[in-house]
Amino acid sequence: MRSRIFQFFLFATAASLFPAVPLSGSLSNAQRYRLNFIDVDGNALSTADGHVTVLVVTTPADSEKARAVGDRVPDYCLGNPKYRMITILDFTRKHTQIGRKIATMFVRHRLNEEAKRLQVRYDEKKIARNARGDIFTVTDFDGTVSSQLSGQSPASNFRVFIFGQNGELLQQWDDVPTATELAAVLKGP
């Protein structure tokens, strides 16, 4: 059974996305992008901060696709601080400030529940890390984050990006890549 390490990434939220350089259109492989995020836990994250980053942009309707990406990430990435997965959960429907707060509370609850499941996996593999600390998700309530990454209407896209340690875009897909495709790109920094 493949690890379901990243399924819980769909259930967290973040304050916002602050791109260092405005992006327009689709991203190009072999180009460097420093995309900066603040996750639900207040962690500052970047696509160019020394990690190999799997970045998934999805909508709630495509949550199974995002889970499939997490399932297909090689086991050697599990708990490995060189690798990270960030999910951008795209809610294009407008939310009021109160609606966002309620959504954030719900998402945090789901995040904590999924972290418990992941911790069991970590314990089985004797990974001495708190699984909750390896969960990174950005929630996009107005579509601005997703549209900057995809270059198209955010509600219509499911995208997977892999960034190298310095922010170089190594590969991108508009559907779930196979385990072999992911492993070929994630073979090591």
- Position 3 scores a pLDDT of 38
What is the predicted pLDDT for the residue at 115? Answer: 84
Q: Which two tokens stand for residue 157?
A: 């896209």
The rounded distance, in Å, linking the Cα atoms of 108 and 162 is 25
pLDDT at 67: 78
Question: For the chain, percent helix, then strand, then coil, each to nearest 5?
Answer: 35, 25, 40
Position 156 scores a pLDDT of 53
Cα–Cα distance between 111 and 17 in angstroms, integer? 19
Predicted local distance difference test score (pLDDT) of residue 24: 41
Give the residue extent of every domain in the chain. Answer: 7-185
Q: CATH class for domain 7-185?
A: alpha beta
From the centroid of its chain, how far is CA 109?
Answer: 18
Answer yes or no: pTM beyond 0.75: yes
Half-sphere exposure of 12 (CA within 13 A, CB side): 29
State the pLDDT at residue 98. Answer: 64
Strand 136-140 and strand 83-90: the pairing is parallel
Taking only the tens of pLDDT, the chain with its 189 residues reads: 333 333 333 333 222 233 333 334 578 999 999 888 878 788 888 999 999 999 998 877 787 898 789 889 888 998 999 999 998 888 766 566 667 778 778 778 878 887 887 788 889 889 999 988 988 888 887 777 766 675 554 445 789 999 999 999 999 999 999 999 999 999 854
